[in-house]
Amino acid sequence: MRIAVLGGGVTGLTAAWKLGRKGHDCVVFEGGDRPGGLCRSETIDGYVVDHAGGHIIFSTDREVLDFMLSVLGPGGAVKSERRARIFHHDRWVTYPFENGLGDLTPEHRYDCLKGYVEAWHARKTGAEEPRDFKAWCLWRFGEGICRHFMWPYNEKIWNVDLARLGTAWVRGRVPDAPVDDVLKAAAGIPTLGYGHQAVFWYPASGGFESVIRGILAALERTEVRCATRVETVRRDADGFTVNGERFDRVISTIPLPELVRTLGDVPESVASATAGLAFTSLTTVFIALADATVPDLSWVYFPHPDDGPQNRVTFISNYAPANAPAGGASVMAEVTHIGPCPGGTAKTARDVVGGLVHRGIIRAENVKFTKTFSNPYAYILYEDGVEGRIDAVRAFAASRGVDTVGRFGNYNYYNSDRCIRAAFDLAASYPDA
């Protein structure tokens, strides 16, 4: 078969790789100047930066993990132990927060532990799981952890009233810490938390986009067309046309709203559902430092507004020696927003630097340069009731014979490893040529 793959991010390229190995001919339509989507990287004056924040190579799916490592080749990845922290007012707190209660002040520790035990007891005695995310946090973690971390941190990420969000997206993403672990943590006995993420890998050179380059090099029977925006997708008795060109099948990994735009004759109900597919955007602020003295950490969460607009900072120079020149270091900060970046990217960069300097994370005189990257589609905003809208749009795409897959292609809250798994599974449903 001749298959059109819409979107050249990790999902689309993986699907094309798998289908090419099954003997099919694929054409990948990519609107950007090069493939990669949210997995693109740059090297600037010897400093490596990922466009969309702190990617890592990690998966509990062994087939997916082996695939990601294999496309990098022998020696192509650096293995690291996760060293993550939360910056809570004036101190580092072990991540996840409920496993770091021993790092808090005695007053905050008591506040969080009391609330956690009360919430745990309420759940055990039949407290019903709430539908909105703000109430769900209270039900799950208790008032102390909510006030000190969960609510401010998530407000920073999502930029909406948390009561507007549903809870389907957190199921399976937020493991329930055993109450024993929380009690031990509060008493100062170390506990790991999220043990399945204790180690990860990162490309030895070239940033996370090296995974994309590895997949590209392994493609068979596939043509990748960059700077090619998909304008029309039509189905007829003989198959499909994409931008007037004939194909047997179409796989879409582009955002659902972008796909609907191409299909034509969209019913009002589907148009309304599409308009309700909200999402957040991401500005990545990269900071190149002349001095290598950054914390020996992987990443840090910043829940409080007075630390700067960033919700997370990745010390990417700690991921691989080649990520910064000798004697240098680097930081990537993630700032989420709805719509255009508030105040513009230059102001955001200044505010991030100012917040990190204020907190003593970096020194102003060591900043060599900053660079910002804009990502319009970054995270799906799971407002309560969005599942119905997503189902309606998916059903419309399916009625036109288009297979949708991926993070925004199917509106699933997937990291890169789950995007690869989804591409594997979709390709497996196609017959061999």
Alpha helices (H) in 97-208, listed in sequence order: 106-124, 133-141, 143-145, 151-158, 179-186
- Confidence category of residue 175, pLDDT binned at 50, 70, 90: low
Helices in 187-318 by DSSP H: which ranges? 209-218, 256-263, 268-275
pLDDT (mean) for 90-102 = 93
pLDDT tens-place string over residues 261-274: 999 999 999 999 99
Sheet holding 239-242, edge to edge: 233-236, 239-242, 245-247
Q: What is the mean predicted confidence (pLDDT) over 108-135?
A: 96
**Fold of the domain spanning 2-81+202-278+382-428:** Rossmann fold (3.40.50)
Domain ranges of the chain: 2-81+202-278+382-428, 84-197, 279-380
CATH fold of 84-197: protoporphyrinogen ix oxidase, domain 3 (1.10.3110)
pTM: 0.95
Q: Which helix (H) or strand (E) holds 50?
A: strand 47-50
Q: In the CATH scheme, what architecture does the domain 279-380 have?
A: Alpha-Beta Complex (3.90)
Cα Dmax for the chain? 71
Q: What is the pLDDT of residues 21-69, one digit of tens each?
A: 999 999 999 999 999 999 999 999 999 999 999 999 999 999 999 999 9
Q: Assign 308 to helix, strand or coil.
A: coil
Q: What are phi and psi of 345, to 5 degrees?
A: -70, -30
Q: What percent of the chain lies above the pLDDT cut of 90?
A: 92
